[in-house]
Amino acid sequence: MTITPEQIAAANKANLDALVGFAQQAFKGIEQLVELNMAAARSTLDDAAEKTKAALSAKDPQEFLSLQANLLQPAQEKAVTYGKQVADIAAATQAEVTKFAEAQVAQAQAQFQSMVEAAAKNAPAGSESAVAAVKNAMANATSAFDAVQKAAKQAASVAEANFKTLSASAESTAQAAADVVKKTTKRA
């Protein structure tokens, strides 16, 4: 089987399209993170200005301590929410990139399979065992790829579950700390 210049050009175009598609998926995730970070920075700046004005207008130490105690809870909630949003963006981006990569691999496997089939049809007599060996190797490679892909998906699921558990734990710990601060300032 001879490869023509048109086939090479078509393969190069397909590879370029795949690269562009992958880059678009990655940039989409980066863009979402930038937007989230800009919103978080804007919110933090606004909150800091508001809290500073409130602190400067405190009339006595008790009011100042009360303001301080009330700062912890919203900041902790915002940090947890931010972390969840980052994790969601990362998970969505990873899922899209994985879906895109799986489609590219499936397409490449199909093309290679058709190439092997075409070569097998044109193979000289007596090369059946070589063709069978190539087909067997291809089946083994596909099976190995599927196993690795399944393991990667399981690892990503475990990591996501661990992040959610850690996030919930951090949220409850911060809530308990905020409650202690509030109780302490009420006694003072």
Six-digit token string for 122: 């044109």
Mean model confidence pLDDT for the chain: 82
Spans of all domains in the chain: 5-187
Residue 134 and residue 138: Cα distance in Å, rounded?
Answer: 6
Q: What is the pLDDT of residues 63-115, one digit of tens each?
A: 887 777 777 778 878 888 898 899 899 889 988 888 888 888 888 888 878 87
Mind listing the pLDDT tens digit for each residue in 109-123?
888 788 778 777 877
Kindly state the helix (H) or strand (E) to which residue 123 belongs, with its residue range: none
pLDDT in tens, 116-149: 787 778 778 888 888 788 888 888 888 887 888 7
CB 178 within 8 Å of CB 76: yes
Answering whether pTM is above 0.75, one says no
